[in-house]
Amino acid sequence: EVQLVESGGGFVQPGGSLRLSCAASGFTFSDYSMNWVRQAPGKGLEWVSYISRSGSTIYYAESVKGRFTISRDNGRNSLYLQMNSLRDEDTAVYYCTRDTVNDCWGQGTLVTVSS
Amino acid sequence: EIVLTQSPDFQSVTPKEKVTIVCRASQNIGSSLHWYQQKADQSPKLFIKHASQSLSGVPSRFSGSGSGTDFTLTINSLEAEDAATYYCHQSSNLPKTFGQGTKVEIK
């Protein structure tokens, strides 16, 4: 069964940092590009970042550029999102998704940024 | 940035009725348009990819059409389990963007 499981969310003060992880199973992780997509409470979906299969190509939404870093470890079948300089508006459920069409989603991990 | 505008924002529908959701892109995105269903307190699920390609396991009453800037998600003969918010998403240009969502409620 194809599965993505996010972890690492939590409560953090503005300016703080968190590192999200996404553990992939049930498919050949290195064959797929990956994304992070977030959803603020009661709001719609927002694409955050993309990483290619090898990790050589990376893109970010303007709202997180310079603060967030996406990475992957194909040997560990894992995707990561390092989030620094967090702001109130980064509060959201963060999903990892597979492939350009987001054909598989994790259950999400909640990040709350508040003083 | 490509803006995706969905209409309507909300639709209250009786079972067996036909539902049509429109997604309009601010620029030509070819067929790089995908549809997701998100039920309350669940993760989104891909329902239609590349404008019209159905996914395994998705009921046949769901279909997608369109290309360029105008796209449609159709639900023929709505069932109670279809109550959800539906989002369109474009992967043609960066940044990737989503529509604002259409909430479908069962009367």
* pLDDT tens track for A49-66: 999 999 999 999 999 999
pLDDT, chain B, mean = 97
Average confidence (pLDDT) over A28-46: 97
Per-residue model confidence as pLDDT tens digits over A5-15? 999 999 999 99
pLDDT at B27: 97
Residue B102 at interface with chain A, using a CB cutoff of 8 Å: no
Query: Which residue among A35, A44, A106 sits closest to B100, beta carbon to beta carbon?
Result: A44
A-chain residue closest to B34, CA distance: A101
Average confidence (pLDDT) over B24-49: 97
Per-residue pLDDT band at B100 (split at 50, 70, 90): very high
Tally Cβ neighbours within 10 Å of residue A45.
Answer: 25
Extended strands (E) in chain B: 4-7, 10-13, 19-25, 33-38, 45-49, 53-54, 62-67, 70-75, 84-90, 97-98, 102-106
Amino acid identity at A100? T
d(CA B55, CA A76): 29
Contact A101 B49 (CB under 8 A): yes
Q: What is the pLDDT of residue A72?
A: 98
Mutate to test the interface with B, among A3, A100, A101 (most CBs of B within 10 A): A101
Calculate mean pLDDT across residues B64-82. 97
Handedness of CA B28, B30, B31, B32 (dihedral sign): negative
> Residue B24's pLDDT is what?
98
Rounded to the nearest angstrom, the minimum Cα separation between A56 and chain B is 17
Q: How far apart are the first and last CA of chain B?
A: 36
A105, B101: Cβ pair inside 8 Å? no
Q: Chain A contact for B64, CB < 8 A?
A: no
The band of B88, judged by pLDDT with boundaries at 50, 70 and 90, is very high
- Do B100 and A106 make contact, defined as CB atoms within 8 angstroms? no
Q: Give the tokens for residue B27.
A: 């620029």
Single-letter amino acid, residue A7: S
Record: contact B43-A107, CB cut-off 8 A: yes
Segment A71-96 mean pLDDT: 98
From chain B, pick out residues whose CB is under 8 angstroms from the CB of A61.
95
Give the mean pLDDT of A31-58: 97
Q: How distant is the Cα of B96 from the closest Cα of chain A, in angstroms? A: 6
What tokens appear for B93 in the block? 């240009």
Q: What is the mean pLDDT of residues B63-85?
A: 97
d(CA A96, CA A22): 6
Provide the CB-side half-sphere exposure for A4 (13 A, CA). 30
The rounded Cα B69 to chain-centroid distance in angstroms is 14
Q: Which pair of tokens denotes residue B68?
A: 């360029």
CA torsion, ordered A98, B98, A108, B60, to nearest 10 deg: -70
- Reduced to 3 states (helix: H, G, I; strand: E, B; else coil), residue A90 is helix
Region A78-98: what's the mean pLDDT? 98
What does the mean pLDDT of chain A come to? Answer: 97
Q: In chain A, which residues have their Cβ closer than 8 Å to the Cβ of B101?
A: 44-45
DSSP assignment of B15-39 equals TT--EEEEEEESS--TT-EEEEEE-
- 8 Å CB contact between B10 and B105: yes
pLDDT of residue B44: 97
